[in-house]
Structure formats: C-alpha cells, structure tokens
Amino acid sequence: MSKLPRVALLSTGGTIDALGASRLDLAWYTETKNRLPDGALVAALPELKTVADVIQVPFARMPSYALSTEDWSLLATTVQQLAASGTFDGIVVTHGTNTLEETAFLLSLTLSTTIPIVLVGAMRPANGLGSDGMINLLQAVRLAASKPARGQGVLVLINDTVFAARDVTKSATFRVNAFAAPGLGPLGHVDADGEIRLTRRHATNAVPAFAIEDIARMPRVDVVVSYVGADGVLIKAAVAAGARAIVSAGTGAGRPTPAESAALNEAAAGGVVVCQGTRVASGRVSRSPAMKAAGRVVAPAMAPWQARIALALAVQHTTDSEAIQITLDAL
C-alpha cells in the first residue's frame, strides 16, 4: 500500500466550525459564540483518512473579522515553520470567509515554500442545513496533498473551486459560491471524483516579497472609499491618527473627488505614502502624469485591502514613491 501524503491542518475558526442556534440559523450564528470542540470537525470526517494523513496543529479559533496583526504574525510564522520542517506535503488553514482573502494575500507575500498552502472556509455553519464545511475541508486536503498544487503558492479552495491568493475576493454575502477572481477566473477545480484539474497557473516569486518579521511591525495604513460629494475629512483624520500610508479607493479607474484629491496631495507632500486604487471590483488603475507628479503610487489590479497590506509591509523599508511603485507592480 502506498504511503498517504501528510497534511498539516491549522484551524483558525470562522463559519466552518461555528454552531448556530438551530439548523436554520444560517445568518446570525456568529452571535451564539459557539463552536465545535477542538478536533470535532476532523473526527466527523473519517473520509479524510482515505486522502491524507492529517495532523492537526493547535491554533486559536475566532471569527476572521476579529483577527489582529499579532494573529497574522503568529499564523505566518507557524505555517512557515511547518513548511520548512520537511514533514508535510501540504498545509491547510481553515479560516473565516470575511477576511480570508486578506490573510491569503498576506501569506502569499511572506511565505517561502513550494508545498501547497490552502486556505479554506465555509458559508454555512457546521450544524446548519446544507453545511458546506465538510466537503470544502475534504477538497482542500485533496488539493494540498496533490502534485498539481505544488509550486502554486498560496491557494484558496471553496465550493470545489481553486483560486490564487493574489486573485481571489469574496463576492457574495451568503451564497456558497461566494468567491470569485474578477477578470481572471479561478485556477481550476477539485472535481466530484476528487480529481484535481488546474487549467491555469499563476506566477509565484521564488523569494517572498517581504519577511515574516515585517508582519508584526505593520504600521497604520488606512483605506478611504470615495463617493459623490466626499470631502477630505477622513483623509485628514487618517493623517492625524498617524497613518504611514493611505489607500484611496477612488471611483472608476481611480478617481477621488476634487476635495479628496487635494487632501491626498497634502498628505503626500507631508510624507504620507498615498496609493490610488479603485472601488471597482476588477481592472487596473493607471498612474497618470498628475498622480506621479503629486507623488502618488497606484495599486495595479489590486483590491484596496490588498494594497493596504502591501503598503504596510513596504513602507517599513522605504517611503520613496518610485521604489514603492516598483514593488507594487511586481506583486
């Protein structure tokens, strides 16, 4: 008999192991503050033993919207240590879907490994009708244990669909197919028979863009979303609060209001790194001559919250706008 792959499993919480007040509690279950006991999700899924030798690694469980920078630092450090140990063929991290895309992006910028790192979540609680947690977890373990996933960096698996951490975003509040990669599409799927079909590959850096140690030192970086009639009050408040950088989620291809633009230029002149992004779900922001002259950088085809993470890591090394633009373009 061939030896099964070894997969490490870290459970950070989220809907996948949450318990609702009843089987119909598919919306407000987080308010019960109840979870499955440690190890119960895996114990209820004996089919995992046919796919991989799953080793559970203790980690604090919580809603993903409650995660802190300290939690991110510990998670990245733990995953990197597991990957570097040479003991595992893949690593799976269960995670709440609210901020799953942010954690996945952060890990993709800081981890150095060729083994698959797969983040997985669920849209319905463990005791809810139609719960998707168990099948998602099984498929994630299949993906993490597979050869096609090697060298693909950090991946996200949900609803049988495989996404690259750089591309994925949550696109629906309740649907089980709540994740998408606007403008790019998924990398592939884990089919019903367990076959891994990745029809697209994505470029991954051999050397991570940032060090894990940078996570614990991430400074304040704020995101300000534009809308009709927006003034510069929130931008000035961010500067006053000590923001080292500001991401402007502008309209269209990255256009804040005139009042916001004036406040952003003032912030940039005062040494705050200003990154122009867009509130639009897909598409890139082009760095116009006026933006460059004002010292603003742009987030090319990057969501505002992704840009926030990248900037919080980048400004620890430089505040030069041209150097930061080169870094953002390479991510």
List the pLDDT tens digit at each of the 331 positions of the chain.
469 999 999 999 999 999 999 999 999 999 999 999 999 999 999 999 999 999 999 999 999 999 999 999 999 999 999 999 999 999 999 999 999 999 999 999 999 999 999 999 999 999 999 999 999 999 999 999 999 999 999 999 999 999 999 999 999 999 999 999 998 999 999 999 999 999 988 777 778 999 999 999 999 999 999 999 999 999 999 999 999 999 999 999 999 999 999 999 999 999 999 999 999 999 999 999 999 999 999 998 899 999 999 999 999 999 999 999 999 999 9
Give the pLDDT confidence score for residue 146 in this predicted structure: 97
Closest residue by Cα to residue 158 from 148, 77, 171: 171
Is the same domain home to 151 and 284? no
Question: Rounded to an integer, what distance in angstroms lies between the CA atom of residue 268 and that of residue 248?
Answer: 12
Query: Any idea what the CATH number is for the domain that residue 258 is in?
Result: 3.40.50.40
- The amino acid at 232: G
User: Residue 204's pLDDT is what?
Assistant: 76
Out of 165, 198, 231, pick the residue that ends a domain.
198
Q: Which residue has the tokens 């003991």?
A: 87
pLDDT of residue 74: 98
Looking at residue 315, what is its pLDDT?
A: 98
Q: Indicate which CATH number applies to the domain containing 110.
A: 3.40.50.1170
Together in a domain, 137 and 227 = no
Distances (CA, A) of 249 to 1, 9, 101, 144, 307: 55, 35, 17, 34, 10
The DSSP call for residue 11 is E
Q: Compute φ and ψ for 210, nearest 5 degrees.
A: -140, 160
CA atoms of 187 and 129, how far apart (whole Å): 29
139 and 47 Cβ atoms separated by less than 8 Å: no
Question: Quick one: tokens of 166?
Answer: 């750089």
**Angle subtended by helix axes 69-84 and 100-110, to nearest 10:** 50
DSSP string, 249-309: EEBTTTB--HHHHHHHHHHHHTT-EEEEEESSSS------HHHHHTT-EE-TT--HHHHHH
**Boundary (domain end) residue, out of 169, 198, 227:** 198
Q: 295 lies in a domain?
A: yes
Q: What is the pLDDT of residue 324?
A: 97
Parallel/antiparallel/unpaired status of strands 273-278 and 245-250: parallel
Same-domain status, 83 and 232 = no
Residues 6 or more apart in contact with residue 96 via CB below 8 angstroms: 12, 13, 14, 15, 16, 62, 63, 64, 65, 121
Is residue 208 one of the residues assigned to a domain? no
Q: For residues 279 and 304, is the Cβ–Cβ distance under 8 A?
A: yes
Pairing mode, strands 161-164 and 154-158: antiparallel
- Contact between 94 and 121 (Cβ < 8 Å): yes
Q: Are residues 171 and 229 in the same domain?
A: no
Are 88 and 79 a contacting pair, CB within 8 Å? no
Question: Rounded to 5 degrees, what angle do the CA atoms 234, 239, 242 make?
Answer: 125
Lookup: tokens for 38? 């440690």
- For the record, the structure tokens of 84 come out as 């570097």
The count of structural domains within the chain is 2
CB 155 within 8 A of CB 141: no
Note whether 166 and 230 are same-domain residues: no
User: What does the block give as tokens for 180?
Assistant: 């998408």
Looking at the structure, tell me whether residues 148 and 177 fall in a common domain.
Answer: yes
**Do 151 and 23 belong to one domain?**
yes
Annotated catalytic sites, by residue?
Answer: 15
Q: Which of 131, 166, 198 is the last residue of a domain?
A: 198
Its domain, for residue 280, covers 218-330
User: From its phi and psi, is residue 154 left (phi > 0), alpha (psi between -120 and 50) or beta?
Assistant: beta
Q: Any long-range contacts for 81-84 (C-beta under 8 Å, 24+ apart)? A: 82/8, 82/57, 83/111, 83/112, 83/113, 83/115, 83/117, 84/113
Structure tokens at 41: 């999700």
The whole-number pLDDT of residue 2 equals: 60
Beta strands in 58-150 (DSSP E): 90-94, 117-120
